[in-house]
């Protein structure tokens, strides 16, 4: 089973920034365990939503040629909890992009309030032995389509993103 901690993208600028949305719903099973009688989305899952948003931004920037893996949460701070009914908006930007890895800054917002902030470092791994394939290309493209990346995505010149033909 795969867990997706973002529902859709609202903005996507290749190699620069992205905004994704996660609606926190009482229908999600993990909320019933954290904590009984006072449901909230654990901040570790908020970090995962941040990582998925920034990780897809980085993977697109390197044309999906390497596996992008969260290697380090360099810093993270949370100001309040996300609860059912909240809409988390993740804002990610690439701070540094090198062949071996990338540094991103991501924040989560609920309304006009900053819920959390983090700096995330991603390793860029060559496919091969010891580096599992996480998604088949067609499966990844279906997921990206469902999150509307190619409907709203733009390159840095403002032109629509072309859907890869794998």
Taking the domains of the chain in order of start, what are their residue ranges?
8-151
pLDDT of res. 26: 87
Contacts of 94 (CB under 8 A, 6+ apart): 15, 16, 17, 54, 57, 58, 61, 102, 103, 104
The domain 8-151: what is its CATH number? 3.10.129.10
34 has catalytic annotation: yes
Spans of the chain below 70 pLDDT: 1-2, 34, 129, 131
Q: What is the pLDDT of residue 129?
A: 64
If phi over 0 gives left and psi between -120 and 50 gives alpha, with beta otherwise, what is residue 85? left
Give the pLDDT confidence score for residue 17 in this predicted structure: 98
Which pLDDT value is given to residue 1? Answer: 40
Active-site annotation holder among 32, 34, 79, 124: 34
CA dist., res. 18 & res. 5, Å (int): 15
Which pLDDT score is estimated for 138?
82
Identify the pLDDT of residue 74: 93
Res 126: pLDDT: 85
């Amino acid at each position: 089973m795969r867990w997706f901690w973002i529902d859709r993208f609202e903005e996507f600028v290749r190699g620069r920034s992205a905004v994704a949305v996660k609606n926190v719903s009482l229908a999600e099973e993990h909320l019933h365990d954290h904590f009984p009688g006072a449901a909230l989305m654990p901040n570790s899952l908020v970090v995962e939503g941040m990582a998925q948003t920034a990780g897809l931004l980085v993977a697109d920037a390197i044309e999906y040629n390497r596996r992008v893996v969260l290697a380090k949460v360099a810093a993270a701070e949370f100001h309040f909890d996300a609860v059912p009914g909240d809409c988390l908006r993740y804002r990610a930007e690439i701070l540094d992009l090198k062949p071996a890895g990338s540094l991103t800054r991501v924040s989560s917002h609920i309304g006009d309030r900053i819920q959390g902030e983090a700096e995330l470092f991603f390793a860029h791994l060559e496919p091969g032995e010891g580096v599992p394939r996480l998604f088949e290309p067609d499966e990844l493209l279906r997921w990206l389509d469902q999150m509307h990346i190619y409907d709203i995505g733009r390159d840095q010149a403002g032109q629509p993103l072309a859907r890869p033909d794998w």
